[in-house]
Structures are given as C-alpha cells and as structure tokens.
Amino acid sequence: MTERIKSLLDRTFDREQAKFRRDVDWKPLLARFVAEGTGDVVRARVGLEEMLREERPEFMDGERLAFLRTVRQIPDLHTDAEMDARRASGTAFGEKGVVFNLTADFGPTIRDGLGARLDEISARLGKCRAEGDAEGVEFLENAALSVRAVLDLAERYRKAAEARGFCEIAATLAHVPLKGARTFHEALQSLRILHYAMWCEGEYHCGLGRIDQYLYPYYKADLDAGRLTADGALEELEEFFIACNRDSDLYIGVQQGDNGQSVMLGGVTRDGAPAFNDLSRLCLKACGELKLVDPKINLRVDKSTPIEIYELGTELTAKGLGFPQYANDDVVIPALERWGYATEDARDYSVAACWEFLVPGCGMDINNIDAVSFVGALDASLRRLAPAEGVSFEDVKAEFKAEVQRRADALVGKYSHVEILPGPFVSVISTGCIEKARDISKGAKYNNFGIHGTGIAVAVDSLASVRELVFEKRLLTLAELVKLLDTDFAGRDDIRAAAKAAPKMGNADPRADEIAKWLIDFWGHAFDGRRNDRGGIFRPGTGSAMYYIWHTRDVPASADGRLSGEPFSANYAPSLDVPVKGPISVVRSFTEPNLGPVCNGGPLTIEIHDSAFAMPDGVEKVAHLVKFFIDRGGHQMQINTINRDTLLDAQKHPERHRHLIVRVWGWSGYFIELDKPYQDQIIKRVELAAS
C-alpha cells in the first residue's frame, strides 16, 4: 500500500469527508410535486436534477478519483399519504417502492460514454414521436435530461479541479463520462460517477457487478501498452475501493454497512470460458490490504476451481472481513436456466446486493420482496392440531407443509399487482430500456420475485424434537407442549433440556437431516406454476435478510428449546447455541438437501474461531472446507471469523474495536456500529474449529 493510499484510507475511515456535508430542506420540492400533481417520471428526473444541482464539487487531499457526496439527504419524491393511498388501492411495492437491489449494466456505458447514450435516446425519441408513443416520449425526454444533469455535475467538477490545480482530475473529467473510457483510470472514474448518480437518483443497494470482467480490457490494455504497472493498477483499484466507503454511511440500509455494494469475481464468461483473471486477483489483494467493509466480495467457484483460488479467498476470511461469499456455478447456473434465464445470461449472474442472484443490467427482479417464517408456520400448525385426538407425527408434517403453502399462496396474492417507481437515469445504463423506450420500472428481461424462507434450522430442529418428545418418548402431549411454548417452558426445565438434546441440523444426524431434505424439497416447489403480474416467477430461497430478527417478534418459544424473543440463525445455518460436532458435520448436514430449487440465494453461514488461522495450515484447511461444500453441491457459503471474547469486549469498550468487522446476514459491517440485537445474535452463533 502506498503512502498516498494509506493517507486516504485513514482519513476516510476517520470520516474527514463529513466536513464537506450539509443539509438541504427538500420539503418545498415535495410540496410542489404534490400541489402540481407531478407525474412519477418527472419527479424522478427533477429529483435527480435538484440533488445534483445542490451538490458542490469537493476533493480530499491526494485523491485522483473525484465525486464526493456533500448533501446528506436525497429528496423524497412522494409523501407518505400518497404512497399509502396507492397501497390502499391494491398496489404493492417492494420496500420503499423505488428501484433497489439492482446491478446496472455499467460496462457498455463506460465503454461508449454517456454521449453515446444521448445519441441513442435522440434517435429513439424521433421514432416515438413519429409513432405517437406518448409514454415512450415522456421516458426518453426525462432520461435525456437526467443524463445531462449528471454530465453537468461532471463539468462543474472538472472546472473546480482545474481551478484548484488538480490537473489530472480535470483532464480525466474532460473525457469521461461523456466519452468512452480509454484507460483503467478513466474506467474507474466513469464507474464512480455512474454508481454515485444511481444513489443520487434514489436507487439503493446498488451493486457493482462483475468488475473483473467489464474493467479487465482497460487493465490489460494499459499493462500491454506500458501505461500502467501491476502496482500502479493496485493503487488505482484501492483508491476506488476506498471511495466506495466514503459516502456509504449516507446510504439506505437496515443497519450501517447494509448498502449492497457488492462485487462478483470469477466464474465463467457468457460463452462458458473460465473468467477468473489477473484483475480478479488484484481485487482480492486490494481488499486484503485495505480491510474495509466495502465493496463486499463475492467469488464464483465450481468443482474445477483450483484450490489456490479458494486459498486466495480464504486469506480475506482470515483477516476477519466476513467475505468473500462463495457461489457455486455448478448449482446456480442450472438453477437459473430452469427458472427461464437464457444460458448466456445465467452464466453472467452476479448478486443483487447481499446474496440474491441477479443478471446485471437486464434483471429487474425483486429478489427479497417478502419472506415465509417456517417457525411461525410450525407454531400455527401445532396449535391447530393440539386439541385433536389421535394425531401422528405424519399429521404434524402434513399440516406444517400445508401451512407453509398457505403462506406462500398468500404472498402470491399480496403481490398480485406490484409497481416500481421510475428511475430514468438507471434505465439509461440498463440493458434494452432505450431500445424499448420504457423505464426499467416497467420491467426488464427478467422480472422475478424472490421469497425468503426463514428459520429453516429452527423449524427442522423443532420438528425433530416434536417427533422425539411427543410421539416417540411420549414425555408430554402435543397440547401440553403448546402450553409450555407460551410460558418459555416454565417449571419444566426437564422438557426444555430434552428438547435441546433432540437431533439437530448441523451434526450430520440423519434423523434431523431427513426432515431438512423434506422441508427444502417442498419449499423449492411451493411456487411452481405461479407467475407475478410483471410476467416473472417466484423464486424461493434459503436466505433470511433481517427477518431472522423480525420474525421472532411474532412467535413464542419453539419446540427445539429456543425461548421467545431469541433470534433464529441467519440465513441457512445451524440454530444458535446448538453444540455441533464441527464444520465438516455442518457442511454434510446442509448439503444433504437438493439446493437447486431454492437458489434465490441464502448462504450457509458458519463461524470459525479466529484461532483457526493461528496455525500455519489454517488457510489451507478452511479453503478445503469451502471446496468440500462446493463439491457436495452447496449453493452459497459465507464464513465469519470471530472470537466471542473479543465481541463481548467490543460491546463494553467500543472505542477499542473501531476496525472490528463481522458478517451480519449478507453483508459485512463494523461490529460497534450494529444495534445490540444484531450484536447479540452474532455473539450467540456457534464458533467452530477449522479441523
């Protein structure tokens, strides 16, 4: 790491950039929209124009890549009353209603420049006018104005850089993003501006996609021409990664760090050739040196991936970054093909934000539109059956399956009509929108909805406990068990101990794993044949997002011995405080099910004690563990390197642990910035040795 980069890193971490920020009162703009009855597309365009107009060109000493947020708040474009009225009329929205969890198609615009996009808009606009396509005209006119707002800010930055003597920045901005990038440095600057503008338009959880693919031609050309060395390229890349952390505290998220700035490395190209390259390696090296939470690294692998690549990824894990997150091409690509994705698109997959699979540029999938609580479904099933006579365990399973299906069907009904608020600028840098003369909010090539399944391990463990305690050992009746769940097993510590001793998922115990296989199988087909009103399907997954905390508010204690209020495990992972035999048994259990049908995303999440990496062969062992998971058909995996004593000390003395990073659910964040419920859940996760 050069001294320049170290200085930028330290000052960014200390949030020196905050001195440039100011508040803007956007209420008059929103009041104007309401008073004038301004349409959605115009609101989106004017909101971006006003946001960028208020931005002031500022620079941090020593930087070579410009663009820094100076306005804290992005303008609200709709009042709560307006949105509530739409929902009351039968319209559903994903989260805030805007485009989110999206990775744009950055590569073509970096290559061609925004000027080329303006030329395409102009040509298409002429056809729309000739055809009398009023909707197309409105979209394209506002798209062009949005592009011009971005270019205007770039020009203001250029002039400011020139006035302050920052000649390199000024020269770069004289070319990009108006024209196509010619060098690696120009490509990074263009990407920075395009990504920055998406956030300013109101999109959030904006991924960066396969940067080792679309930036590689510039990197290689510079090296081949002698314009750049590998060390110089590393310095350029590290500055870009630092820039990803500069404004991220202003970004929307459930918790600080939950911002979707993910990149995908490796895998295969659209024609199926190996895609891991020298820039992939450089990205891993840059992250390892910087030790920042952004960008989050995802690494595509398969059975043929050399162990050396797993080891490169594991070196980041050893540093406590909580990434890379691994995705298995052998499982994910066929799963996407079965769901209707073209083979070349399936091969080009990335993640939307955390771990939900998406094809950059042409995917307008809402991959986390809602979730089904398996623990809640089981609780409802047990209560429904408790008064009945002669109930069998097969009856419990059948009722549970039926309840999950009812909840799945209810979500299909809930999202029978979904709208997305427009984003004219992000549409310009997404595939096909200009050609179709339609905003990406109207749909893209793929428009699927993803549904999480939360509390998988808790539900499996609870079913195993019900079978053992009620139907095999007959320690109590189903009705008695339900009453105990309402009282947190009050007065029956013996029953809770028996529940906690029953078979658990994660120990390679067939008695639990057979239930998991059954549950995953029917969950993977719960939405078969169902389509949403945007022409897409519903994709079930094994993720949880924040629901592993939220869903616990709706259920009492569970039959596995979990008490009320205690969180589920995040994503696809053993239940909290379950004594498992070790990481091998966890991998065996969690790869017993066929995971292809539940490939919306949702990684096996395991914790490795940091002492595992104190041994000389620690990296090698963990790398082989990841490969073992991939070879057994696992779909997605992430590993947290933690030390419970360190985490407890960080709660008491946060000032000592400013740099402590943990993996939360599909993203990494600074432990001391998390709310206490999320901190506590991480502390309760099971620490495993590497052997």
**Distance (Å, rounded) from C-alpha 280 to C-alpha 274?**
12
Determine the pLDDT at residue 691: 42
Cβ neighbours around 518 below 10 Å, total: 16
CA dihedral 427, 432, 435, 437 (to 10 degrees): -40
- 449-454: strand order across its sheet: 366-373, 449-454, 538-540
CB 606 within 8 A of CB 586: yes
CA distance 643 to 457: 23
Q: Look at the chain and count its residues.
A: 691
Lowest average pLDDT, out of 65-69, 257-261, 410-414, 501-505, goes to: 257-261
Bridge partners (DSSP) listed for residue 599: 541
- Tokens describing residue 144: 């062009």
What number of other Cβ atoms are within 10 A of residue 388's Cβ?
A: 11
Residue 454 has pLDDT above 70, yes or no: yes
Amino acid 255: pLDDT? 64
Of the pLDDT bands very low, low, confident and very high (cuts 50, 70, 90), residue 684 is confident
DSSP string over 484-539: HHHTTTTT-HHHHHHHHHS--TTS--HHHHHHHHHHHHHHTTTTTT-B-TTS-BEE
Q: If you average pLDDT over residues 129-144, what whole number do you get?
A: 98
Rounded to whole angstroms, the Cα distance separating 301 from 265 reads: 9
Q: Is the pLDDT of residue 689 over 80?
A: no
Give the single-character DSSP code of 199.
H
Tokens 């690509």, located at residue = 333
Classified as helix, coil or strand, 608 is strand
Whole-number pLDDT of residue 354: 83
Confidence of residue 690 (pLDDT cuts 50, 70, 90): very low
Strand partners, 363: 446
Question: Which of these ranges, 151-155, 498-502, 602-606, 655-659, has the smallest mean pLDDT?
Answer: 655-659
Distance CA 113, CA 115 (A): 5
Comparison of pLDDT for 678 and 485, the residue scoring more: 485
Q: What is the pLDDT of residues 418-448, one digit of tens each?
A: 999 999 999 999 999 999 999 999 999 999 9
- Whether residue 496 contacts residue 489, with contact meaning beta carbons closer than 8 Å, is answered with yes
Burial of 412 (0-12, 13-18, 19+ CB in 10 A): middle
Question: Taking the domains of the chain in order of start, what are their residue ranges?
Answer: 3-278+332-358
Q: Phi and psi dihedrals of 578, rounded to 5? A: -80, 125
Burial track 328-339 (b if 16+ CB lie within 10 A, e otherwise):
bbbbbbebbeeb
Query: Looking at the domain covering 3-278+332-358, what would its CATH class be?
Result: alpha beta
